[in-house]
Amino acid sequence: MSFTYQAGTPFAGDGIKDVSGTIHDGSYTAIIGHTGSGKSTILQHLNALLKPTSGTVTIGDKVITNETNNKNLKPLRQKVGMVFQFAENQLFEQTVAKDIAFGPQNFGVSEKDALALADKMVAMVGLPHDVLEKSPFDLSGGQMRRVAIAGVLAMQPEVLVLDEPTAGLDPAGRHEMMTMFERLHREQGQTIVLVTHQMDDVADYADTVWVMAEGRLIKTGTPREIFSDPAWLKANQLGLPKTAQMAQQLIAKGFHFDPRPLTETELADQLLPQIGGGQHG
């Protein structure tokens, strides 16, 4: 399964221009770029909420072009689960169970099976079993977000697309949420596309990075490749993960790192011989 993406002429406003790239099955791809760089436009092409003005988007064996008929998009939308920003805003059913079961039922799963899925997904997003019969509107903001995500997971998508999934959560909530996606990716081989401003999350979780600027895909690579060029990132108004920032400060003081560390564990490991840590044992 892969996405191939080629779009030509931009549409008015924040369009995207001539973007070509592939997202591989089982990968964890982060899309970064400052606000207005075309990230959300790309996302909406991933399940044909938008169709390319020119060029093609291939999702699995399905090719979407400008001429693609709206009627045949359903199977494709089932394949690509979208978790939008502030996803809790999409909840509407009387109970959590019904809301989670809503998506699968739209794609032809029976009510019974859909409710069974809800049962399973609620556990997967780390919510207690007894929320199933509650109204989603009685839950806290963080819990509502999880219900919304469970509703997308229940569609059993092949690709999970996350648009700033941790926005507005507190640090503990953010960490739990990111760990949950990491588990899905690692244990079930879930393909993930993450759009984020949090460079630390990119460094910690992604295996591929797309950098967008002014509607163009200006660089792709592993997080290590992308974050090894601080000057280039700065020129494109992008930040560094905290570890890379620290490494940068240490390099200025005469430390050496090869390769540049991405996490504090890597940084600590590489620092150890340079500060005589080995002697202490």
Which of 82, 59, 83, 85 shows the shortest CA–CA distance to 72?
59
Stretch touching other proteins by CB under 8 A, among 2-10, 76-84, 115-123, 219-227: 76-84
Exactly one of 89, 110, 179, 188 binds other proteins (CB under 8 A); that residue is 89
Say how far apart CA 147 and CA 136 lie, in whole Å.
8
Answer yes or no: are the C-beta atoms of 85 and 93 closer than 8 Å: no
Is 267 a binder of other proteins (CB under 8 A)? yes
Is 179 a binder of other proteins (CB under 8 A)? no
Size of the site for other proteins (CB under 8 A): 62
Least distance between other proteins and beta carbon 173 (Å):
7
Is 121 a binder of other proteins (CB under 8 A)? no
Is 170 a binder of other proteins (CB under 8 A)? yes
Is 13 a binder of other proteins (CB under 8 A)? no
Stretch touching other proteins by CB under 8 A, among 6-14, 115-123, 217-225, 268-276: 268-276
Give catalytic status of residue 164 as yes or no. Answer: yes
Is 110 a binder of other proteins (CB under 8 A)? no
Stretch touching other proteins by CB under 8 A, among 11-19, 79-87, 116-124, 180-188: 79-87
Is 82 a binder of other proteins (CB under 8 A)? yes
Exactly one of 90, 190, 191, 208 binds other proteins (CB under 8 A); that residue is 90
Q: Which residues bind other proteins (CB under 8 A)?
A: 34-35, 44, 47, 49, 71, 74, 77-78, 80-82, 84-85, 87, 89-92, 102-103, 106-107, 137, 140-142, 151-152, 155, 167-173, 197, 237, 239, 242-243, 245-246, 249-250, 253-255, 264-265, 267-269, 271-272, 274-277, 280-281
Residue numbers annotated as active site: 164
